[in-house]
Structure 1
Amino acid sequence: MAHHSFTSFQEFLNKEQDIREQIRIATKEIEQYVRDMLITLQAIHSEGGLQRIPECCEKSRALLENVRQGYDKLKVNVPKNEYYHYNDHWRYVTQQLSFLVALVVYLESERLVTREEFADIIGVKSVREEGFHVDLEDYLTGLLHLASELARLAVNSVTNGDYSRPIRISQFVAELNSGFRLLNLKNDMLRKRFDSLKYDVKKIEEVVYDLSIRGLKPVEHSGTSKEDVDESNKD
């Protein structure tokens, strides 16, 4: 009887190992595309990188098509209702993708990607009840990483002579910070990451302040040109 039990245990362990191996293979494939995206998007920080933003976003969107295929392979290997039994395999890569997709969407239209939109882009669900989905904490982790990347972009924008971009980044990250302050974060890693957000906000504010005291901060126009103001000052 005991012998029979242990034989069934071995069958279970073998099956478990096979599932994990298939998941590892699919995840490795996604990780490669993520590395390619990271390399592609780092170009925005180089000299003349701001001019390359459309090209970098286009290349990243093409890589995301491959990412979708990777998640298709991953999904078929995860048994129904066992998402959280195996998600340690793809958690980190999904967090990285949340950041990269959020960065692409920001660079394209200066807005925040929604969880639903991100899930759709990588070809999975946004709601837990529907099966293989984007875990909320993984999505939020990516957004916090985005704030750090935008702080870096604000500094490099000034170096590249774009003085209005840091001001727009500052407004966006301030709104992101306000959103996160509404959440009661229970996850330790997420809370630590959130603690660093205030430093990102401060760093961007310092860039904007520096532009202001150097007289480089663009004036917001309300239908009145600088020439109009100069003319009225002569009267």
Structure 2
Amino acid sequence: MINKKNFEQMRSVMDGFDKTREDVIKIARIILKNSKKSIFACHRGDLKNARILLDESKVKIKEMEKLISADHDLMISIHNEALEEFVEAECFYNFLKNKKIPTCKELNVSVETYLQGLCDLTGELTRKAVNEVIEGNVDGVLEIKKLISDLYEELMQFDFRNSPLRRKYDAIKYSLEKLEDLSLKIKLK
């Protein structure tokens, strides 16, 4: 009645999927960790170490994408979280190093992943601006404020609807308000 060989084959397929899924999760965690460490290194001014961590993440992203290309069902939330964190870290590093924000094409990520990482970037930029005030670098604060303002203006052109991306976009407004308040306090001194 039951084809036992068929069930053995299905079990083998499911076991293989589970193993590969665990591999994707493991790699994604490394990317997340390296990206967070890179952001922290950037805040400390250690751009050399930040670059090393980002380059390690790029290698891991290729490994993860290779696994996922074999079975798109492996594209799980931690995969997206890892790529978003990488985008945030890469953009933060490039802003500090080159005063440039790389494109989604340069980072080889989807538009949605890129936009989510970019929205998260504003939180790190705001933190950097606060540190610039502490260090007495008013020009640095104004430069960051302009970047966040420009990002917000561009992102206003999108219709994000009610999604995680929309909530991240809405948070930019609060970062911008914080920087405007900070800029006003600096000018009033």
TM-score interval for Structure 1 and Structure 2 normalised by the shorter chain? 0.7 to 0.9
Question: Does 2:144 correspond to 1:156?
Answer: no
Closer, same or farther: CA 116–187 of 1 in aligned 2, 3 Å: farther
Question: Does 2:182 correspond to 1:207?
Answer: yes
Closer, same or farther: CA 184–71 of 1 in aligned 2, 3 Å: same
**Which of 1 and 2 has greater Rg?**
1
Name the structure 2 match of 1:115: 104
Q: Summarize deviations over 1:91-121 as a string: whole Å, max 9, x none.
A: 11111111111111111122222001112xx
Name the structure 1 match of 2:64: 74
Name the structure 1 match of 2:149: 174
Q: Summarize deviations over 1:19-59 as a string: whole Å, max 9, x none.
A: 342243244234235324423432554xxx4xx2xxx2221
Q: Which runs of 5+ in 1 are unaligned?
A: 120-133, 215-235
Shift of 1:7: 4.6
Closer, same or farther: CA 9–74 of 1 in aligned 2, 3 Å: farther
TM-score by length of 1: 0.71
Say if 2:37 and 2:50, in contact at 8 Å, map to a contact too. Answer: no
Partner amino acid, structure 2, of 1:71: I
- After superposition, where does 1:128-143 map in structure 2 within 5 Å? 134-143=109-118
TM-score by length of 2: 0.87
**15-24 vs 56-65, which moves further:** 15-24
* Equivalent in 20, 26, 29 of residue 28 of structure 1: 26
**Runs of 4+ residues deviating >6 angstroms:** none
* Equivalent in 152, 165, 169 of residue 190 of structure 1: 165
Partner amino acid, structure 2, of 1:210: K
Name the structure 2 match of 1:61: 51
Closer, same or farther: CA 77–19 of 1 in aligned 2, 3 Å: farther
CA distance in 2, matches of 1:179, 1:41: 24
CA distance in 2, matches of 1:10, 1:135: 37
Name the structure 2 match of 1:103: 92
